Amino acid sequence: MDLNNIEDIARYIVKAGKGILAADESNPTCGKRFDSIGVESTEQNRRDYREMLFRSQGMRGNIGGVILFDETIRQEAEDGTSLVKIISDQGALPGIKVDQGLKPIGDSEESITQGLDGLDARLKEYYSLGAKFTKWRAVIKIGNSMPSDDAIQSNMVALADYAKVVQENHMVPMVEPEVLMDGTHSIQECFDATSRCLNTLFAALDERRVNIKGTILKPNMVTSGSEVAHKADKNEVAKQTIKCLKENVPSDLPGITFLSGGQSDLDSTAHLDAMNKIGGFSWKLSFSYGRALQQPALKAWMGKKENASLAQEALSHRALMNKLAAEGSWSSSLEN
């Protein structure tokens, strides 16, 4: 695939219902996922697991991009093929997480994402390793007077500064302002916090003349807090999320690919499908799921080579279900 223009790259990733497999867990996060199945998080185990995912049949036609972690973009498969080539051979574009995690803002509970220092040099190397797009995640919390204006402003400005440097390096920036689900907040509070973030983010991108047609947004859906007993239902989540996006996101953005953020795999698919069934927006609404795509595959794998094909079937199934949801043609009966 010889895609060099950032607008073509962004459109390619979300074409025809395709979405993104987020496989960019840092080593500590990957360690937590592996702990849940009793597998040691060694470099080789992480390689074997990801190689298995990337070779799944259901990558083809359903996955347009894969987000990698620094270790993975440099790794080779057991037979010596680079993991980047395996991804490309499946028709997906390799992407890379380029932020360097979170730092607390003063002694508050809020954080600012790190990674602008030395970013240009890191991007040049990732480009030479085959990356076509990049990701930067900002984290925003709800509760105890949060989010503060300061946390929103500083994080959205950092996202816009990052996006500018990425485009100067000929890659597509994926901008991820994640409003966390954690807490007892209402769907309205999530709507308000998400709205403030998106509004500030697109003003900052505009100020820096970031090319919106060569950018992908990775937002949270607008949902009730994860600790709320009676949560807003699927149709309410779909309606509020579309309303929030329509009020804040320019219509020439090619793709919006949601994070799953702790939603179950089925909820993530059902919510995406409900939005696409409502329709009436110009962007492609698709997925960039980590846990919601990988969880069933991880459980099927359990670190054992002999489980590889079951695990690959599990990933392939979720990839297909989410592609159908991105086209608004999923139904729960297809899950059996």
Provide the annotated active-site residues: 176, 218
93 forms beta bridges with 65
Which of 50, 141, 291, 323 contacts ligand 13P by CB under 6 A? 291
Rounded to whole angstroms, the Cα distance separating 325 from 330 reads: 5
| Residues 171-210, interacting with ligand 13P (CB under 6 A) | 176
- Three-class SS of 198-265: HHHHHHHHHHCCCCHHHCEECCCCCCCCCCCCCCCCHHHHHHHHHHHHHHHCCCCCCEEEECCCCCCH
* Closer residue to ligand 13P, CB minimum distance, 102 or 129: 102
- Shortest Å, Cβ 200 to ligand 13P: 19
Contacts of 247 (CB under 8 A, 6+ apart): 195
Helix, strand and coil in the chain, % to nearest 5 = 50, 15, 35
Q: Which listed range, 39-47, 106-114, 243-251, 283-291, lies at the site for ligand 13P (CB under 6 A)?
A: 283-291
Distances (CA, A) of 262 to 39, 138, 214, 284, 307: 21, 16, 28, 22, 25
How many alpha carbons lie under 13 Å from residue 291 in its C-beta half-sphere?
15
Instruction: Please identify, among the stretches 44-52, 191-199, 258-266, 321-329, the one whose residues bind ligand 13P according to the rule CB under 6 A.
Output: 258-266
Q: Based on the shown chain and the rule CB under 6 A, indicate whether residue 10 belongs to the binding site for ligand 13P.
A: no
Alpha-carbon radius of gyration of the chain: 19
> Residues 102, 9, 198, 258: is their CA dihedral positive or negative?
negative
Is residue 169 part of the contact set for ligand 13P (CB under 6 A)? no
**Does the footprint of ligand 13P cover residue 260 (CB under 6 A)?**
yes
- If one asks whether residue 289 binds ligand 13P (CB under 6 A), the answer comes out as yes
Binding mask 129-168 for ligand 13P (x = CB under 6 A): --------x-------------------------------
Encoded tokens for 64? 């347009």
261 binds ligand 13P (CB under 6 A): yes
Task: Examine residue 95 and tell whether it contacts ligand 13P (CB under 6 A).
Answer: no
The stretch near ligand 13P (CB under 6 A) out of 163-171, 192-200, 286-294, 297-305 is 286-294
Residue 80 structure tokens: 């010596």
> Interface with ligand 13P includes 22 (CB under 6 A)?
yes
Binding region for ligand 13P (CB under 6 A) out of 102-110, 124-132, 288-296, 315-323 = 288-296
Q: List contacts with ligand 13P (CB under 6 A).
A: 22, 24, 137, 176, 259-261, 289-292
